[in-house]
Amino acid sequence: MSIEPMEQFFKPIKAPIELAMTGNYAVAGAVTQTDPDVICAFPITPQTQSVEGLSDVVHYGRLRAAFVNVESEHAAMSFSTGACAAGARVFSATASQGYLLMIEALPMAAGWRIPLTMLISARAFNAPNLNIWNAWEFTLADVGWNVLVAEDVQETYDNAILSVMIAEKSLFPTMFVHDGFIISHAVHKFMALADEQVKKLTPPLKRHTISTQKPGLWGSVVTPEQLMEQRLSFDLAKKTVPPKITEAFKEFEKETGRKYKQIEAIKCDGVKTAIVTMGSMCGNIASWQKKNPDIGLIKLKVYRPFPMLELRKIVQDLGIQKIAILEKLDAPGAPTAQVGASVLAALYPLKIPIKDFIVGQGGRDVTRDEFDLVKRKMGQLSGIPDQLYEYLGVREKFNKLWDPNVMEVSK
């Protein structure tokens, strides 16, 4: 089906090469290069081409892997978990309702400490109506997975490889996210690595597996005598992940020259206000900053484990006095939405004004108009607000944005 877009990955890639592909196909290419044994997913927009592309490389003989079509995302996550626990390198992918259907099976993948990787092509979920476009459904469940978020096609290609490195070093399943349609379906230029480079970066590591050579119980019942200790040891293990991510980033940089940080301050020197966000919005904000050098950008590349102390240090060291958060999923009834909750917790000792802006849900464009509004609102913000979040970019009329303080769209 997608032979043409995947053509570049049908033959060995002997030297780094510049390609132009959509985010989904670029991920399919990167995953091909990591030589997975099992690929198991259930199709859902906007993730579909990532697995279609992989079925092409398998069915045309480029990749020796079991490409397993299953009956649901729940089955996809369960199958991926079982296969990975049995010793296979496994890739899965999903979005939206599929992610929600998987949620029951996500904690076991983390609890069993298996290095499974999964692409999330981030999309809204149904309520009150169906919407296939971008939102951050992946922030809903905190069950112990590592989460990387990509800004563009280059980063999502790189994350597919980094996720294998991080998952296998840390023995925690790792999901990597790109914004649905905005990255999944956008064609960008990016540099693909040579197959040998990817092979060198992702060597198979020894780990525990389901094996008759070493019998054991997986997922037995435990009483109140045991679960708290197990959860604590799980949490302590999770705390060892960030240095392993840094190690992976360093190895990756050494091989490719591309440098990544878990959290990065972009043009924050001397600013009083900074925006904390992640994903595809970062590039737009960075270009908007050219005319707005008074607003900094703090980009989260790693969302889980959340780089809490690093964020606090950036804000403290740079003397930033106000923080705006942009995120793409609301949480009705909660004090504020998911990303905001993490940022607020990280920065609470600093007692600075923080406002969480809900933007871009359901694929609504987040444009410079929104950034201008954020800037104005942050300018007006004095002290810690009673209402920690607000929606931005919601229309009241075709040419007028809804706002408690009524603001006209600038012509």
Partner 1 sequence: MSGRAKSKLIKIEDLLKRETHNHFLYVSYDNEAYMNTGIQQSGATPPFASTTTGPGGKMIKGKIGIKEDIVNAFAFLGVKSGFFATANPAYPLDLIGKVVEALKTPGCGFIHVLSSCMRGWRHPENLTSQISKLATESGYFPLFSIRVRNGRPEYALNRKIKTEKEKLFEFISMLGKYSHLFKPEKLEGNLDAIFESVSNRNQNIIDLSEKFAGDSEMEIYTGKLKEFPNQEHIAGGHGLCLGCGEGQIITQVAVGAQMVGGTNVIYTNSTSCMEVSTSKDNFGSWKVPWVHHLFETSATIADSIATAYRTLKAKGKFQGELPYVIAMGGDGATFDIGFQFLKSALVRAGSWAIQNPLLADK
Q: Which is nearer to partner 1, 70 or 388 (CB)?
A: 70
Q: In the beta sheet, which residues pair with residue 296?
A: 274
Q: Please give the distance of CA 353 from its chain centroid, rounded to a whole number.
A: 27
Q: Which is nearer to partner 1, 216 or 349 (CB)?
A: 216
Whole-number minimum distance, CB 306 to partner 1, in Å?
A: 27
Q: Which is nearer to partner 1, 219 or 349 (CB)?
A: 219
Angle CA(243)–CA(248)–CA(254) in degrees, nearest 5? Answer: 125
Q: Three-class SS of residue 122?
A: strand
Show Cβ contacts of residue 217 under 8 Å, excluding neighbours closer than 6 positions.
none
- The span from the CA of 189 to the CA of 399, in Å, is 35
Report the 10 Å Cβ neighbour count for 218. Answer: 12
Whole-number minimum distance, CB 366 to partner 1, in Å?
A: 38
Whole-number minimum distance, CB 144 to partner 1, in Å?
A: 16
- The span from the CA of 408 to the CA of 388, in Å, is 23
Whole-number minimum distance, CB 105 to partner 1, in Å?
A: 6
Kindly list the residues in this chain that would bind partner 1 in the complex (CB under 8 A): 37-38, 40, 64-66, 68-72, 74-75, 78-88, 90, 104-105, 108, 204, 210-223, 225-226
Q: Which is nearer to partner 1, 76 or 358 (CB)?
A: 76
Whole-number minimum distance, CB 171 to partner 1, in Å?
A: 17
- Comparing CA positions, the residue from 179, 364, 328, 353 lying closest to residue 274 is 353
Q: Which is nearer to partner 1, 34 or 81 (CB)?
A: 81
- The span from the CA of 206 to the CA of 196, in Å, is 20
Whole-number minimum distance, CB 216 to partner 1, in Å?
A: 6
- The span from the CA of 149 to the CA of 198, in Å, is 20
Q: Which is nearer to partner 1, 145 or 181 (CB)?
A: 145
